[in-house]
A and B are shown apart, each in its own frame.
Chain A
Amino acid sequence: DVKVTQSSRYLVKRTGEKVFLECVQDMDHENMFWYRQDPGLGLRLIYFSYDVKMKEKGDIPEGYSVSREKKERFSLILESASTNQTSMYLCASSLDRGLKPGSYEQYFGPGTRLTVT
């Protein structure tokens, strides 16, 4: 079974703090993703990575950065947290080995509920 773990389930930070959210997958997946989920807005992609040290912006990258130094680990960084970054953050991974069945399915972690005060 695919397992995606996130470093914290709940996190409370103050405005202006630097925040690190970590995600680890144990299935040798190529791709990793960070989404945020807000009521009425659904899941929105922040950043994704298709290889170690490679990253691409998603739909809402402003105020965020990412790091992928090892294949299994993908970090989301809030450089200076703001109250509008209060949200549920979800990490996902996918295999993506071309035409192999199941390659494109994304598997999600349990989520981190971040509150910025």
Chain B
Amino acid sequence: EDQVTQSPEALRLQEGESSSLNCSYTVSGLRGLFWYRQDPGKGPEFLFTLYSAGEEKEKERLKATLTKKESFLHITAPKPEDSATYLCAVQANSGYALNFGKGTSLLVTP
């Protein structure tokens, strides 16, 4: 059975303090690993798709990387507006659905 585990559950950073969020996964044949950002009371917003180990993608202060067992979302010099819940999900080759982790709630304070 596919499993996605995100850590930590919550993270508090000072503005400018870089850190990483972890997403560990098990899946029978990975089609893609997806990162989303979700603000309170809103739907998840797509950030990145990673397809194979070694792949990296960047967007502003965010950089996502992928190995065969986990993915990291690196946040460089975060700002308060980066505060949100970050969700990781995997899709198996055999299916349509995404299997989501429970998310990491990030708070960046000024």
Interface residues of A (CB under 8 A from B): 4, 31, 33, 40-43, 45, 48, 50, 56, 58, 90, 92, 94, 96, 102, 104-111, 113
Contact = CB atoms under 8 A, between A and B. Distances in A.
A40 B102 contact: yes
Interface string B71-107: 0000000000000000101010000111011110000
Contacts of B101: 42
Contact of A42 (B46, B49, B91, B100): B100
A96 B46 contact: no
Given A31-B96, A43-B87, A111 B41 contact: yes
A42 B43 contact: no
B34 interface: yes
Contact of A110 (B32, B43, B100): B43
10 contacts: A4-B43, A31-B96, A40-B102, A41-B102, A43-B44, A43-B89, A58-B97, A106-B34, A110-B42, A113-B41
B96 A48 contact: yes
Contacts of A92: 43
B74 to A, nearest CB: 21
Given A31-B96, A33-B97, A50-B96, A105 B49 contact: yes
Most buried by A among B34, B44, B101: B44
B63 interface: no
Task: Give me the 3 closest cross-chain CB pairs, A-B, nearest first.
Answer: A108-B43, A42-B102, A43-B100
Most buried by B among A40, A42, A90: A42
A27 to B, nearest CB: 13
A4 B97 CA distance: 17
Given A90-B43, A110-B43, A111-B42, A105 B34 contact: yes
A104 B99 CA distance: 13
Nearest to B32: A104
A105 B44 CA distance: 12
Contacts of B34: 105-106
Interface string B29-62: 0011010100001111110010000000000000
